[in-house]
Amino acid sequence: MNTSQSSRQKNPLSSRVTVRSVLIGTVLVAAICRVEAYSDYYVNNVWLAAHHFPIVAAFVLTILVLFLNVALQKVGFASPLSPGELITIWCMMIVTASLPTLGLASYLLPTLIGLTYFATPENGWIDLFHRHIPDWVIVKDKGAARDFYEGLSSGESIPWGVWIKPVLFWLLFTFVLWGVMIGMSVILRKQWVEREKFTFPLVELPTEMVSSTVLSDVWITDTVWPN
């Protein structure tokens, strides 16, 4: 047995990413984005991911560990999710959890149409700003900007034609920004993790939650279930 195989057996969190974990993570990410948008903008309820430790991701991880994994072990239909698979799902959720809210969409979407919707003859924003901004950066259609803030009239449909170019541009920008941040993380990882031994406290809780295939010791401590 080589050194890498031995280290994976000693540390179950180092197991490889599986197709199952990616598929489950993708479904959960889509569900989280849908629920957050409805909760934050339509219901105006509690922010589910507007902080460094997204409670929605922690809640879903708890469901996976306490219910899904236990059920899979009891029924035997499939093997429980391994610690490595749970961590993969967790990472997918925390990376995308804030995007529909304060992490991106809450600021980006209003910015795309704010210069158009709030432009008036008095402030002269159209003459001052619009001629300096390309059409593929913001939405310049007054009707589309009004519909975004005030809602569509009965029988109207979303004017995708005026949205497609700005949305594609900012999607490309976002992916490039992600790539830069991932690259910085790779560059700094060795210094922070191996030399300076950063503890990363926000990682400790999910790591303890999934440290066993089914239930780890953290679930039976007085910290989680105080007397």
pLDDT above 90 (res 180): yes
Model confidence over 71-90: pLDDT tens digits?
888 887 788 888 889 999 99
pLDDT attached to residue 95: 85
For residues 116 and 130, membership in a common domain is answered with yes
For residues 135 and 204, membership in a common domain is answered with no
pLDDT attached to residue 184: 95
- HSE, CB side, 13 Å, CA atoms: give it for residue 142: 5
For residues 153 and 209, membership in a common domain is answered with no
pLDDT attached to residue 199: 81
For residues 67 and 145, membership in a common domain is answered with no
For residues 218 and 177, membership in a common domain is answered with no
Nearest to 53 by CA among 179, 207, 224, 206: 206
For residues 19 and 82, membership in a common domain is answered with yes
Range of the structural domain that residue 130 is part of: 104-196
Which tokens sit at 168? 């594609």
pLDDT attached to residue 80: 86
Dihedral of alpha carbons 116, 122, 124, 125, sign: negative
pLDDT attached to residue 186: 92
pLDDT attached to residue 226: 56
For residues 2 and 92, membership in a common domain is answered with yes
**Average pLDDT over every residue of 144-165:** 87
For residues 87 and 1, membership in a common domain is answered with yes
pLDDT attached to residue 201: 78
> If you search the block for the tokens 């059409």, which residue do you land on?
135
For residues 84 and 159, membership in a common domain is answered with no
Q: What percent of the chain has pLDDT over 90?
A: 20
Q: Full-prediction pTM beyond 0.85?
A: no
DSSP notation for 148-186: HHH-PPTT----HHHHHHHHHHHHHHHHHHHHHHHHHHH
C-alpha angle 46-47-48 in degrees, rounded to nearest 5 = 105
pLDDT above 80 (res 195): yes
pLDDT attached to residue 20: 92
For residues 218 and 130, membership in a common domain is answered with no
**CA–CA separation, 103 and 36 (whole Å):** 12
Which tokens sit at 131? 């001629």
Domain count, the chain: 2
pLDDT attached to residue 179: 92
For residues 171 and 112, membership in a common domain is answered with yes
Residues 51-85: b if buried by 16+ CB within 10 A, e if exposed:
eeebebbbebbeebbeeebeebeeeeeeebbbbbb
User: Which range has the top average pLDDT, 78-82, 181-185, 206-210?
Assistant: 181-185
Cα separations (Å) of 172 from 102, 130, 153, 184? 19, 22, 31, 19
Model confidence over 6-48: pLDDT tens digits?
444 555 555 678 899 999 999 999 998 888 888 877 787 777 7
Nearest to 202 by CA among 82, 63, 61: 61
For residues 66 and 125, membership in a common domain is answered with no
